[in-house]
Structure formats: C-alpha cells, structure tokens
Structure 1
Amino acid sequence: MLPASNSSAGGAEEERQCIVNDQMGPFPVLYTIIFIISLPGNLLSVWTFIRSPRAKQQSSSVFLLNLLVADMLLLLALPFKILKDIGAAPWSLMVFHCQVSAVTIYISLYASIAFLAFIITDRYLQDCHNLSFLRLQEVGFARLLSLVIWLLLLLIMVPNMALPIQHIQEQRYLSCSSLKKDLSLHWHALTVILCTALFLNASAVVLLSSGLTLRRLLNSRKHPELWGDVRRAAASVTAMALAYILSFVPYHMVRTPYTLSQTKVITDCHTKRQLFLGKEATLLLSVLHLCFDPLLFFYLYSPFRQTLRNMFPCSRKQSVSEAEQEEMMEPAAPAQMPSNSTYCL
C-alpha cells in the first residue's frame, strides 16, 4: 500500500516499500479475454431487447433487462481497469479508475447479484401457483423493485466517487486506497459491510428458491413420462445455483479481510499482498458472469432465441413454428408437473 500522508518519513518509507499490485501477472490478459468474449453476446442482447416489444410484458423480462444494464455498465468500466493493471494508463486515467470506473464495477457487480436472485426467485414462483398472490411477478412491482435496488446501490456507492481524495506523488503503481482520506476509508468500509449484507440476503433467496425447486422436481420421479423433462429442468436449476455460488461466494470470502488491509487494520506487507492477489483472483471469477449471462437470456427470453435463429438463413423457415411450439410448451411445463402445494412450501 502506498503512503496516505507525509507526516512521517519513516512511516512513509515503510508504506512505500509495500506495493501490493506490482505482480498482476495474467489478470489483465484474462480480463481482456472475458471482455472480448462477452461483448458480442451482450450487444446482441441489447439489440434484442430494443427490437422486442415484449420485453416489458413480464416480470422476468424486467429483471433480465436490468441485469443486462448492469452487465453493460461493467463492460464499459472494465477497459479502464485493464489499462491500469497493465500499467499503460496515464496518471490521470489511473486516478479516474480509482474514483469512478472501479466504483462502477462494484455497482454493476452487486446489481447483477440482486437481479440474478430476483430471476431465480421469479422462475420458482412461476411454478408455484399457490404463491401467485406474491407481487414479485407483477410487472409494475418488478419495475419498482428494480428502481429501489439501483437507488440503494447508488446511495451506498456514489459517495466513494464524491468524497474528496488527497493528492500524492505520481508513481508507477497506484493503490486506490492510498488516495482516500480517513473519512473516505471509513465510508469504504461501511460500503463493504452493506454490500456484503445485500449479498448474504440475495444468496439466502437463491439457495432457498433453488432448493425448493429441486425438491419439487425430484418429487416428480413418480411420473415416468415426465422424468426426462424433470431431469433437464433439475440440471438447469442446479447449474444456475452452482454458477452463482462459484462466481460470487469466493470473492466475498476474501473481500472482508482485504478491506481490513485497506483500512490499515492489517499491516503486515506479505499478508496485504496475498489478500490483494486473492481479491483479484476472486473478482475475476465474479466478472466471469459476463460470459454466461447471454446464455441466461437465451434460455429465459424467447425473443433472444428467435433473433439468433433469424440470423441464420437455414433456420428461418423453421423459426415461426418453433417459436409457437416454445410458447405452447413454456406455460404448459409447470402444469404438467404434480401440483401438490407442499412442494412449493
């Protein structure tokens, strides 16, 4: 970590020797690969949502659209992080990353966590007709809930952009925490606590919804004619829950101790370096969801599938009939499952 003030020459020299981000290794390359792979799929998703008038007709579409907005924010901020990590950014751009684009990355990250939780819960509620009274599936309520999430994240995160920073001498390796004054560091720690609480609540919802959905599906084994569809549905639910866990749980296991190193609670230089590398590795896993979210749009949003089919001439003749078949199958699938209400409780 770089020195936060010049009050003590000895302390400044000790801080200056502890540089945590001088061995980024493959991280900028991996972030670049993620950016290149995820950009086409997310741009195609944007194009599909713009062209489709059906995007606002269902609560799931509202949550998917907000997830897409979060992904695009992350894609816009990622190049600044790559340039800083490579060391190719000028000093002003490095400071801009610390003040703006790094905060944007975390806004989009926690927005993605919240909307993924809503999407998984919404899919569960679609199968539980005895829970149809819940307002989560109302389009108006879904929009209101999405607005609350964005306002909450902006209220928590924007002060990290607005609070004043201190001026330090230009140097090759910039640690963003070295720019923060004491008030900014305290607010940063509070931000981590609040966002971790948001993550824990979202994770509880994801695990509960996924577990109840799997129990309901597995209870359908007594119907052999449905077992093939049930097995595929169970595999998709399990894959979605595992992807959520692998993407976001490791990062939050490292986030708190890493924040302690930023706020000078942990002062050992070797520990700081290890925590920084752990944070970068787990953040990479979290950013990896950019590559998989277009698959989620494809699976949950039929206009996305229709757009992809229309891009290939050999499939255009079958696109209309396949779309009609999907529209008939999607609402019918839950009805084919056993309707015992205990499966959804």
Structure 2
Amino acid sequence: MSSNIYTPLVLTVYIFTFLTGLPSNLLAFYTFLVKVRQKPTPVDILLLNLTVSDLLLLLFLPFKMVEAASGMVWNLPYFLCPFTSFTYYSSIYISSLSLMAVSVERYLGVAFPIKYKLCRRPAYATAASLVFWVVAFCHCSFVYIVQYEVLSSNGTAPSNNASLCYEHFSPAQLQILLPVRLEFFIVLFCLPFTITLFCYVNFVRILVALPNIPAQRKQRAVGLAVTTLLNFIICFAPYNLSHVVGFVQNESPRWRVYALLLTTLNASMDPAIFYFSSTAVQQAFTDCLAGLRHRLSSLMAQCYLSHLTCCADRGYKVARASGGEAEESTT
C-alpha cells in the first residue's frame, strides 16, 4: 500500500477513534468514578483504570492527527515525539493488563465464589492497577533510550531523521529495539492473552452450566468474553506479532505501521466491554441514547414547525399580494 493511501487511512482511523472513543469513555469514566466513590468494588476499580488508560491515548491522539495531516512528518516540537510515543504505547499495554485483571476477577467470582468473596478487597485492585502503570511505564521508557541514547556520529542529534517520529531506525537502534520488542510480546501480550483466554473460557463454561443463572446474565457473560478476546485478537495481536517477525528478520517490518494503527481502535472497542461488564454503564449508555433521541426528535419537530410557519407566512403574503393586485385591477 502506497504512502499516498496510508496517510489518509491513518487520519481517518484516528478521527474515527477520537469521535467514538472520547464521548463513550468519558461517560464510562464518570459512571465508574461515581460507583467507586459510593461503593468501590474490585471490578469497578479495574474498569476505571482501563477507562483512564483509554483517555490517556485519546488525550494524545490529536498530536498523531497533526502528524498524519502533515504527511507523516513530525512538525510539532521534537520533545513531543518521544513523549507522545511513550504515552501511546503505555496506554496499549496498560489496557491489555487491565483486561487480563478483569478476566481474572470474573473467573474467580464464579469458580470460587465463597473463598473469593472472603478475600475480595478493593485495595488489591487498586494495587494491581498501580503495578500495571509502573510496569507499562518502565517498559515503554525504552522510547527515550532509542530516541536519545543512540546518537549520530557527531554525538549531538538522534541518528534517525528528526522530521519523522519513531519510524526509521539505524542498525544501532535496532540492536536495542528488537530484543526489547520480543520481550514485550512475551510478557505484555502472550502472558495476558493466555490468562484472559483461560479465565473467560472457564468463566463462560461455569456460568452457562449453572441452572439458576438468568439467561440475560449468561448472554452478558458471553458478550463480555467475546468482546474482550476480539479486542486482543484484532487490536493487540497483529502489532505484537510484528515484534516477533522483526526479531526474526532483524529489521522493523514495513507492515508494522498498519498493525499499530489497529491498536488505536482499542479505545473505541473498550466501551463495549464496559457495557457488558456493568449494569450501571448499560443504564448510563441507555439514558444517554434516550436523551439524544429525545433531543433529536425535539429538534426535528422544531424544524418541522418552523418550516410550516415559514410556509404559512409565505402563503399569507402571497395571498395578500394577490388580493391587492385584484383590488387594483378592479378599481
């Protein structure tokens, strides 16, 4: 695919993610924040953490939009390039770790309901969330190592082209980057995905086998498992597989940029996970859609009445004008 097609594709995906992900994540953030302040539960804390990581990505997405609109040339201040990449990648891996934690919480709740209820503490979910941020930040700090530690021969500027942001790498940079990416694939993707797959398969199997569980709850469980696994497969898997391919080929794959683009859609898919995970979020989304529908109906009704009034006034003026002309001709 040529760069002439790639640039508008990137901008389109960024705009779509921003317009769909920002309002839905803000609504979910408000809903979970209210729940956590009233009566915190581990799953609400983990989902709040997931929402914050998505908002972090969306917060820096306008910088990526500017880059795409400029033909993938970084025209912003250069210090924003590694910082934007750092937050972008950190958000990706915080999301994958948070999704794993939610799956573990769901599985333990149905597999060991009594024991887990006795040991269930919101503080554990808070500690796990903090650990996820620390792990992601420590791993993704390699962005600064690659950008600033490896210098050109004069020792004053990064060895890659400063007009491009984290795209082309020198052999010295690849020696640092490729093994780190392989470690990312194993620790931050394979491990969370394997745990998530195990937990949700058994979570659905146990829940479906229970006779006293309402059908609606079983459908929500299946929807939660399917949405989460699709999120891993569609958004995270291609990008992380590029780490393995790059390590084997000893180069950064060209198609990695398209795989990375899929990870952005994670911020738009996570609200579906919130919907299946929390009845409060379901109610919030339902109320929001109902409010939007009511406002749209009111707006259309006002436009229709305004149109009828305008037509009536126009007809009255035409009738008066016609009556005046008839009176003048009679006279």
TM-score over 0.5 (shorter chain):
yes
1:129-148 correspondence to structure 2 within 5 Å: 129=112, 132-133=115-116, 137-148=120-131
Aligned pair 1:24/2:6, yes or no?
yes
**Mapping for residues 119-198 of structure 1, pairs under 5 Å:** 119-129=102-112, 132-133=115-116, 137-161=120-144, 163-164=148-149, 166=151, 167=157, 174=164, 176=166, 178=168, 182=172, 185-197=174-186, 198=188
1:156 Cα deviation after fit: 1.8
**Residue 236 to residue 288, structure 1, CA distance change in 2 (3 Å):** same
Equivalenced residue count is 282
CA contact under 8 A between 1:28 and 1:86: conserved in structure 2?
Answer: yes
| Higher alpha-carbon Rg | 2
Aligned residue identity for 1:302: T
Q: Which runs of 5+ in 2 are unaligned?
A: 152-156, 294-331
Number of the residue aligned with 1:241: 229
TM-score normalised over the length of structure 2: 0.71
Letter of the structure 1 residue corresponding to residue 270 of structure 2: D
Q: 1:327 maps to which residue?
A: none
RMSD: 3.6
Q: 1:205-284 alignment to 2 at 5 Å? A: 205-220=195-210, 223=211, 230=218, 233-258=221-246, 265-266=250-251, 275-276=253-254, 278-284=255-261
Is the Cα–Cα contact under 8 Å of residues 298 and 305 in structure 1 kept in the other structure?
yes
Farther-moved stretch of structure 1 (32-41 vs 298-307)? 298-307
On the 8 A contact 1:157/1:191 being kept in 2, the answer is: no
Task: Report the alpha carbon displacement of residue 27 of structure 1 after superposing the two structures with TM.
Answer: 1.9
Q: Go from structure 1 to structure 2 and tell me whether the alpha carbon gap of 1:130 and 1:299 turns closer, same or farther (over 3 Å shift).
A: closer
* Cα 1:313–1:78 shift into 2, 3 Å: closer
Q: Which runs of 5+ in 1 are unaligned?
A: 1-19, 267-271, 316-345
**Match of residue 295 from structure 1:** 272
Q: Distance in 2 between matches of 1:154 and 1:130?
A: 34
Rounded Cα–Cα distance in structure 2 between residues aligned with 1:92 and 1:314: 38
Cα deviations across residues 267-322 of structure 1 (Å, max 9, x unaligned)? xxxxx6xx32x22222222221211212222332333344445555699xxxxxxx
Do 1:56 and 1:139's aligned partners in 2 also have CA atoms closer than 8 Å? no
Distance 2:246 2:238 in 1: 13
Quickly say closer, same or farther: Cα 1:164–1:310, change in 2 above 3 A: same
Moved more, 148-157 or 135-144: 135-144
SS of equivalent residue, structure 1 residue 83: helix
Secondary structure in structure 1 of the residue aligned to 2:139: helix
Partner of 1:113: 96
2:20 match: 37
| 1:142 Cα deviation from its structure 2 partner | 1.3
| Closer/same/farther in 2, CA of residues 281 and 100 from structure 1, 3 Å limit | same
For 1:144 and 1:99, the matched residues in 2 are separated by 28
Question: Kindly tell me: are residues 281 and 60 of structure 1, through their superposed partners in 2, closer, same or farther at Cα, counting changes over 3 Å?
Answer: same
Residues 224 and 245 (structure 1 numbering): CA distance in 2 closer, same or farther, change over 3 Å?
same
Identity fraction in percent: 23
Counterpart amino acid of residue 280 in structure 2: P
Cα distance 1:129–1:168, how it changes in 2: closer, same or farther (>3 A)? closer
Cα gap change, 1:219 to 1:57, in 2 (>3 Å): same
Does the 8 Å contact 1:165/1:181 carry over to 2?
no
Q: TM-score when scaled to structure 1?
A: 0.68
2:55 to 62, 72, 75: 72
The 1:90–1:24 alpha-carbon spacing in structure 2 relative to 1, beyond 3 Å, is: closer
2:6 maps to a residue whose letter is: M
Deviation at 1:113, TM superposition (A): 0.3
Mark the CA change 1:243 to 1:53 in structure 2 (over 3 Å): closer, same or farther: closer
Secondary structure in 2 aligned to 1:93?
coil
Tell me how far 1:177 sits from its aligned partner. Answer: 5.1
Instruction: Tell me the amino acid that sits aligned with residue 210 of structure 1.
Output: Y
CA positional deviation for 1:224 = 9.7
